[in-house]
Amino acid sequence: MPVLFGHRYLAFIVVVFLLVFLIFKPLGTQPHGALDHMQLRVPGKAFSDVLNSTLGFQELFVLNLPERSDRRDAMTLSAALTKLDVKWIDGIDGKDVPDRVLPGDSWDKKISKGNKGSWRAHMDALQRIVRENLTSALILEDDADWDIRLKQQMQVFAQAARALTQPTPKASSTGKPLSATEPQSEISISQIPTNLRSRLTPYGDNWDVLWLGHCGTDFPSAPTILPHKDDASKPKVPLLRITIPNDPTVPDHKHLKPHPFALQDSLAKEYPPHTRVVHSSYKTTCTQAYAVSQQGARKLLYQFGLKTLTTGWDLMLGDWCDGLYPQEKQPICVTVQPPLFSHHYGKGAASDITAPGGGFVNKDKEMTPYVRLSVRVNMERLVQGVGVEGLVDQWEDPE
């Protein structure tokens, strides 16, 4: 009898082990997976929070003109299909923004109605973050799209962002992050210290902007920001790059064709295929998605709500991150290339700020640059319950 009980107990243990293995098996064994590098090396609540319905931020906001119900429908479905919880911030028509509310330096500038409306909507988002004292929030344009594996991508990005913004244990007395103490200009994500701690967000506690969706960025090439080039004590752009090699969610080089308004994509020139790079934001354009911390929202609302309006919001935000406005401290802005969010182009892609899609729309093909297993491209399949193996990879690897 004891022997029989032993066999049953052993069989029970084997069954439990198999169930746990099947449920929690590495993503790399699943179709379109091979995400071995995305298995977290750092356990804990902070990184599990990235998997929640707001990606570890306190809120997830979407800017949307109320009359663009088509975009609100699409974004509602996209969020539901990837288990995200979004809140809406109404877009503003530029004709409804009176000149008397604009910052003083805009009065002698020709600001288009589209740029006025976009500026005010983003200021309203920042105002809400400050008013509600949110630790952080992700702000999305209503035509943003992402990969169905977004949460896993964001967990990896969180590791890299913490290394760029969070003080390392050996530098805790000076408060300096890895980007300020690491002598190398580039390290792999596998080399990041595993004992970095943060209290406010999974992405670190000391950042202003995380630029997650854009249509082009460049690598910082000089340590000193232009307005302070003659003063070595003034803010400097960190040069450290954190590489994520062999990332199957990154399209092959031949598919890394930037938006026509963006900088030439330098990623394909400098790195092997399927490499993602996280680094300090530099010459970044477009704002499909960006996160701001409480400290970042306050700085931005002061600079652009009260002092500055000279051009489109994305260009001003890029200049601010590059340090092109007088500031005591260099803003801490982190970006990633290729971006994790991108414009979706197709029916209903006409921009409310400029011409439809900036001339980038192919009426014969629905598409999203940089995103392989696009939620929008696969929306019908996802709604019908098709499994991951039946989804369309819009940027398949060459044969």
Over range 159-173, report the average pLDDT: 73
pLDDT at 184: 57
pLDDT tens digits, 67-124: 999 999 999 999 999 999 999 999 999 999 999 999 988 877 889 999 999 999 999 9
Percent of the chain with pLDDT over 90: 56
pLDDT band at 173 (very low <50, low <70, confident <90, very high): very low
292 versus 24: the higher-pLDDT residue is: 292
Residue 54 has pLDDT above 60, yes or no: yes
Q: Which residues, including other chains, have CB under 8 Å from residue 87's CB and lie 6 or more apart?
A: 59, 60, 61, 62
Give the number of residues written for the chain: 399
pLDDT at 215: 86
pLDDT band at 44 (very low <50, low <70, confident <90, very high): low
Q: Which residue stretches of 253-335 are H helix?
A: 267-270, 294-300, 313-321
pLDDT at 89: 98
> Residue 236: helix, strand or coil by DSSP?
strand
Residue 34 has pLDDT above 50, yes or no: no
Q: Minimum mean pLDDT among 83-87, 88-92, 343-347, 349-353: which range? A: 349-353
Q: Which two tokens stand for residue 227?
A: 């307005």
- The pTM assigned to this predicted structure is 0.83
pLDDT at 393: 97
Over range 253-274, report the average pLDDT: 75
CA gap 174, 193 in Å, rounded: 17
264 versus 78: the higher-pLDDT residue is: 78
pLDDT band at 153 (very low <50, low <70, confident <90, very high): very high
Integer-rounded Cα Rg, in Å, for the chain is: 22
CA gap 19, 25 in Å, rounded: 10
Q: Minimum mean pLDDT among 147-151, 236-240, 317-321, 387-391: which range? A: 236-240
Q: Rounded mean pLDDT of the chain?
A: 81
Over range 250-271, report the average pLDDT: 75
E-only strand ranges, the chain: 59-64, 87-90, 136-141, 144-146, 186-188, 209-213, 241-244, 276-280, 289-293, 333-337, 341-343
pLDDT at 11: 54
pLDDT at 14: 46
pLDDT tens digits, 215-242: 888 888 765 444 444 454 444 667 889 9
